[in-house]
Amino acid sequence: MRDYDGVEVRLRKRLSNRWAADVSYLYSYLRGNWSGLASSDEAVGGLQLNSGRAFNLLYYSYDAQGNPTYGRLGTDRPHQFKAQGTYDLPWGTLVGVNAIVASGVPLSTVMTEKNMTFFPYGRGDLGRAPTFSQVDLMLQQEFRLPGNTRVMFGVNASNVFDQKTATGFQTTPYRDQFNVDDSVFFGGFDPAALAASQNFRPDARFGLASGFQDPRVIRLQAKFSF
């Protein structure tokens, strides 16, 4: 199951008087037990589109208490604010800005039972990743040359403020996996107690950031027209 509901409010000004803008706010709710064709759940490694391991074994679909793991999916971002604007200066310089602010994605503890990952404490038990925000900037200037020749120079800067927000986290606490009978797994068990009794090796990376926002990138361009 994969259900999505959203409400969006958008304000748009078409280009006039040298400027244009598009501002939107989205409130949404993405939940279920299937992360989609790209297998975006932490507990399912994506192989390729339309090819994942989500339902190869039932362990993926249940927590350690035998309850179905329905909840907010891994790409759920309840609040998203976006703004785009352009301004054409009188001397021919075009300025463009793109900005986004969005809720962090849910984080869930992941463990493994018989080579199949699952959410022992349900979805989203670790809270959310930090709020994501980014500002991009574009500048263009055109110059007229003799005849009908023109040259345009441009600068595109992504992540202007070089933000380094953590976008991924290590959510697997152990380096070892469970191998319990199905009657125990689906009947409910205490993962921490069982892991301690079997001397599971803790993963020192648990809870640490494993991915970050792309760094600032500046691209220069030049275009000749004749």
Q: Where are the domains of the chain?
A: 2-225
Q: Given this model, what pLDDT does residue 56 score?
A: 74
Q: How many CA atoms lie within 13 A of 18 on its CB side?
A: 9
The Cα-based distances of 13 to 37, 85, 95, 190, 197 in angstroms read 35, 9, 16, 56, 63
> Tokens standing for 83?
């703004």
pLDDT at 68 over 90: yes
pLDDT at 39 over 60: yes
Q: Given this model, what pLDDT does residue 49 score?
A: 61
Render pLDDT for 181-205 as a digit per residue (tens, 0 to 9): 999 999 999 999 999 999 999 999 9
Sign of the Cα pseudo-torsion (152, 82, 168, 6, in order): negative
Length of the chain: 226
Amino acid at the residue 65: Q
Dihedral, 75, 81, 82, 87 alpha carbons, nearest 10: -170
> Tokens standing for 121?
């404490």
Query: How many C-beta atoms lie closer than 10 Å to residue 109's C-beta?
Result: 23
Angle at 131 between CA 168 and CA 109, to 5 degrees: 40
Nearest in space to 101 (alpha carbons), one of 136, 134, 138: 134
pLDDT at 109 over 90: yes
Q: Given this model, what pLDDT does residue 224 score?
A: 86
Q: Given this model, what pLDDT does residue 108 score?
A: 94
> Tokens standing for 141?
């200037």
DSSP conformational letter for 68: B
Band of pLDDT at residue 42, cut at 50, 70 and 90: low
- Pairing of the two strands 217-225 and 209-212: unpaired
Say if residues 29 and 76 touch (Cβ distance below 8 Å): yes
Query: How many C-beta atoms lie closer than 10 Å to residue 53's C-beta?
Result: 17
The C-alpha atoms of residue 226 and residue 207 are separated, in whole angstroms, by 57
Nearest in space to 141 (alpha carbons), one of 221, 22, 21, 226: 221
> Tokens standing for 145?
């040359």
Mean pLDDT across 48-61? 73
